[in-house]
Structure 1
Amino acid sequence: MSSTLTARDLIDRLSAVDPETPVRLAINPLFPFHHGIVDVIAVKDALGRTTVYVTEDGDQQGPVPPEVTVAAGWHEPTEAPRRPRTCIAAQ
């Protein structure tokens, strides 16, 4: 996995897309679902270092598309198995 994304990295990546585009969190590489974002909260730790938290709304909105899991390095590209077509005889 890559190193932690900084606020600058996130701003740079988001500035490359249409500002009206919805943003989702892709969670859990082993069983990936996406979630809506509610807020961005900055807090300081005991040493005065700031960390930004992107909070989600607690509502799983469905599975993450396969192209996202592949691009994230969570899964290998796969194809659905081929199934033979069968005819159902009229009864």
Structure 2
Amino acid sequence: MSSVLTARDLIDRLSAVDPDTPVRLAINPLFPLQHGIADVIATKDALGRTTVYVTESGEQFGPVPPEVTVAAGWHEPTEAPRRSRTDIAAQ
């Protein structure tokens, strides 16, 4: 797969889910947060090529779920350390 996501790629991926499913932007691999989408805008660049922009709404919905950051390749899979009741009581 190309490192550039095309409109066709995006349409294919979105067509695989229920059309009433909310869509969010996952932003910033180092501190991943969910952001709302305001619009999709197509425009021409200086060479006359069309580029599509997905714009942020300004709404933030909290952290991106760990399974998303792993699937995106931003983070390695991790598990919370196991703690016994004696560990908790010692605190």
TM-score normalized by the length of structure 2: 0.89
**Counterpart residue number, 2:76:** 76
How far does residue 4 in structure 1 lie from its aligned partner after superposition?
1.3
Secondary structure of 2:30's counterpart equals coil
Name the SS of the counterpart of 2:84 in structure 1.
coil
For 1:53, the aligned partner's letter is Y
Match of 2:46 in 1: 46
Asked which structure has the greater CA Rg, the reply is: 1
Match of 2:7 in 1: 7
3-state SS of the aligned residue for 1:21?
Answer: coil
Unpaired segments ≥5 residues, structure 1: none
C-alpha separation in 1, matches of 2:56 and 2:34: 10
RMSD between aligned residues = 1.4
Superposition TM-score, scaled by structure 1 size: 0.89
> In 1, Cα distance between the equivalents of 2:20 and 2:38?
16
Larger proportion of helix = 2
> Following superposition, which runs of at least 4 residues in structure 1 exceed 2 angstroms of deviation?
none
How far apart in 2 are the matches of 1:56 and 1:85? Answer: 44
- Segments of structure 2 that go 5 or more residues without pairing to the other structure are none
Equivalents in 2 of 1:54, 1:35: separation in Å? 11
Distance 1:32 1:23 in 2: 15
